[in-house]
Amino acid sequence: MTVDTLPYTTFFKAKKGIMSWLFTLDHKRVALLYLYSIMTFFLVGASLGILMRLELFHPGKDIVEPHTYNQIFTLHGVIMIFLFIIPSIPAVFGNFFLPLLLGTDDVAFPKLNLFSFWLYVIGALFALGTLVLGDGPADTGWTFYAPYSVRTGTNVTMSVVAAFVLGFSSILTGLNFIVTIHRLRTPGMGFNQMPLFAWSLYATSWIQLLATPVIGITLLMIVAERVFGVGLFDPSIGGDPVLYQHMFWIYSHPAVYIMALPAMGIVSEIIPTFAQRTIFGYKAIAYSSMAIAFIGYFVWGHHMFTSGMSGPAAYIFSILTFLVAIPTSIKVFNWLATLYKGSINIETPLLFALAFIFNFLIGGLTGLVNGALAADIHLHDTYFVVGHFHYVMFGGTGFAFFGALHYWFPKIWGKMYNKKVANTAFATLLIGFNILYFPMIILGIMGMPRRYYDYLPEFTFWNQISTVGSWITVSSLIVLIVNLFVAANKGKKAPDNPWDGITLEWQTKSPPPLENFDKMPKIPEGGPYNYPNAKSSS
């Protein structure tokens, strides 16, 4: 019997009982706690999205009243942004795989990690509490724009407190990752020997750490205005609503990169594995993550071109916005160059990664249209923006999230899913997704405003196509999730390295033991994408 086949205790079996999960300090278990919570809220958010699409099937009332519709789209946004997309990849895959990719046994502050999770739960309870407490969920949209958020009778205060608490969870996770990356890399692993997912988490963590406090204080200012009548944003009591928009977007635009950068990191891990070659342009991809994070701080004003902001400020923000496209396109070029002449093995994770590139390009290019001052005057606050945003968030981050779930599934659970079902779910999801969101881009160009309960008859056709797309999308998601759920419980045992992965996490057993590695990992010559696999040793 070789060392590799010796029996060992997986992190699943290292400790037993519900309390060993709820108060675990193991980064892998914390990651799974996040995964189960995040997936639950994703399904709640998706259900609210379906309700919106059903309501918009015909002009006029279909299933809910206008006020309820406003509350549904607000709760959909709050749940999907703060409870799903922002924490999704960092909290789940970052927590699980960052220590594995760095060759260490845990994050720098395990107790802080657990505290972050419980803050997430508390924040989620506040968000869902608006359903049953006070005058119901906020009806402001997830942006909580003043002065309406100051004046509405709905439970804005509780929604805002939810976002505030969730922000703290995000800050602490970012802090934990930064210290982990600086302090716990395995000996011999410099910054330029780190896997690209770790680089993307590093860039993301800086945004979480530096930008999130701004939204925290801004949201507290909303509460101060609602509760104490302090004139900050409401012009009727001496405030300035444009100041709110500045402060909100100083966080919320960099937050887009909290959502997108880890997804790019996932793609940078999947592509070399399934192209069976080292990544092309390692440093260019690594440093472009930092460049995106850095430039992302300077572009918030492009959300405000029609807010009454001054012309000179708008010009500057427009120019800066176009700069973000450069590091993003550097990444896309290097991913494609990695695939070029690679020994490509088409599996479900690679399909998700390729779909990410396709969807993200549409999302990115429509973003540039929004960043152009003249075009934005026509498109601002139309369905074009909703389409663009969902192409980036769901088509980009969502697809990367599900790609990562399929990629690392055998490492996490030590089992393999049904690949045919997974590929079918992927194909229908990609089709359903495009049928759902591309009509929104067309509707926006036609002039249909976002967040409207009713619409003119000429918008009916594309709205109905979009709603049909939502049915295909949700059906695909159900198949995808059930397939993975069944595999986690009854799937066939997977080998330690089923994809012939060439990165560090595939060097340990599946599922990993509690301490991740039996012995201190060594860095191979040729960088972090050159670890041996079955092919290289045969």
Partner 1 sequence: MSDKENIHISSYKEHVSTWLALILLTFMTVFVSVFGAELRTLSVATAMIIATVKATAVGYYFMHLKYDPKIYKIMMATVLGLFVFFMLMITLDYITR
**Whether residue 511 has a cis bond before it, omega within 30° of 0:** yes
Neighbours of 320 (CB within 10 A): 18
Q: Is residue 125 within the footprint of partner 1 (CB under 8 A)? A: no
- Min. distance of Cβ 307 from partner 1 in angstroms? 10
| Strand 492-493 to 415-416 pairing | antiparallel
Distance (Å, whole) CA 115 – CA 30 = 10
Which window, 9-17, 29-37, 119-127, 310-318, contacts partner 1 (CB under 8 A)?
A: 310-318
Q: Is residue 501 within the footprint of partner 1 (CB under 8 A)? A: no
User: What single letter denotes the amino acid at residue 304?
Assistant: M
Distance (Å, whole) CA 63 – CA 65 = 7
Which window, 107-115, 124-132, 293-301, 431-439, contacts partner 1 (CB under 8 A)?
A: 293-301
- Min. distance of Cβ 309 from partner 1 in angstroms? 5
Which window, 48-56, 63-71, 92-100, 295-303, contacts partner 1 (CB under 8 A)?
A: 295-303
**Contact mark string toward partner 1, 250..269, x via CB under 8 A:** x-------------------
Closest C-alpha among 247, 278, 177 to residue 533: 278
Which window, 42-50, 58-66, 142-150, 308-316, contacts partner 1 (CB under 8 A)?
A: 308-316
Matching residue, tokens 């790609």: 403
Number of residues that bind partner 1 (CB under 8 A): 17
Partners of 513 in beta bridges: 10
Which window, 38-46, 69-77, 271-279, 306-314, contacts partner 1 (CB under 8 A)?
A: 306-314
Distance (Å, whole) CA 107 – CA 123 = 23
H or E segment and range at residue 416 = strand 415-416
Tokens of 60: 């006029």
Distance (Å, whole) CA 98 – CA 110 = 13
Question: Which residues from 169-228 bind partner 1, rule CB under 8 A?
Answer: 210, 214
Question: Which of residues 41 and 202 has its CB atom nearest to partner 1 in the complex?
Answer: 202
Q: Is residue 446 within the footprint of partner 1 (CB under 8 A)? A: no
- Min. distance of Cβ 320 from partner 1 in angstroms? 10
Q: Is residue 309 within the footprint of partner 1 (CB under 8 A)? A: yes
Which window, 78-86, 307-315, 379-387, 485-493, contacts partner 1 (CB under 8 A)?
A: 307-315
* Dihedral, 112, 26, 103, 211 alpha carbons, nearest 10: -30
Distance of CA 12 to the CA centre of its chain: 26
Neighbours of 3 (CB within 10 A): 8
Burial environment of residue 512 by CB neighbours within 10 A (0 to 12, 13 to 18, 19 or more): buried
Question: Which of residues 205 and 382 has its CB atom nearest to partner 1 in the complex?
Answer: 205
If you ran DSSP here, which 8-state letter would residue 63 be given? Answer: S
Neighbours of 10 (CB within 10 A): 15
Question: Which of residues 127 and 256 has its CB atom nearest to partner 1 in the complex?
Answer: 256
If you ran DSSP here, which 8-state letter would residue 10 be given? Answer: B
Q: Which of 17, 60, 190, 311 binds partner 1 (CB under 8 A)?
A: 311
Q: Is residue 431 within the footprint of partner 1 (CB under 8 A)? A: no
Q: Is residue 153 within the footprint of partner 1 (CB under 8 A)? A: no
Q: Which of 235, 308, 526, 532 binds partner 1 (CB under 8 A)?
A: 308
Tokens of 227: 């509760």
Q: Is residue 298 within the footprint of partner 1 (CB under 8 A)? A: yes
Distance (Å, whole) CA 155 – CA 133 = 8
Q: Is residue 380 within the footprint of partner 1 (CB under 8 A)? A: no
Tokens of 411: 């490492």
**C-alpha dist (Å) from residue 451 to 173, 215, 237:** 32, 23, 27
Q: Which of 301, 364, 398, 491 binds partner 1 (CB under 8 A)?
A: 301
Question: Which of residues 288 and 476 has its CB atom nearest to partner 1 in the complex?
Answer: 288
Q: Is residue 297 within the footprint of partner 1 (CB under 8 A)? A: yes
Q: Is residue 369 within the footprint of partner 1 (CB under 8 A)? A: no
- Min. distance of Cβ 317 from partner 1 in angstroms? 8
How wide is the angle at C-alpha 406 spanned by C-alphas 400 and 411, nearest 5°? Answer: 120
Q: Is residue 242 within the footprint of partner 1 (CB under 8 A)? A: yes
Which window, 73-81, 231-239, 243-251, 471-479, contacts partner 1 (CB under 8 A)?
A: 243-251
Tokens of 284: 């260019």
Distance (Å, whole) CA 219 – CA 213 = 10
Radius of gyration over every alpha carbon of the chain, rounded to an integer in angstroms: 23
Q: Is residue 246 within the footprint of partner 1 (CB under 8 A)? A: yes
Question: Which of residues 122 and 316 has its CB atom nearest to partner 1 in the complex?
Answer: 316
- Min. distance of Cβ 329 from partner 1 in angstroms? 24
Question: Which residues from 317-346 bind partner 1, rule CB under 8 A?
Answer: 317
Question: Which of residues 313 and 346 has its CB atom nearest to partner 1 in the complex?
Answer: 313
Return residues touching partner 1 (CB under 8 A).
210, 214, 242-243, 246, 250, 297-298, 301, 308-313, 316-317
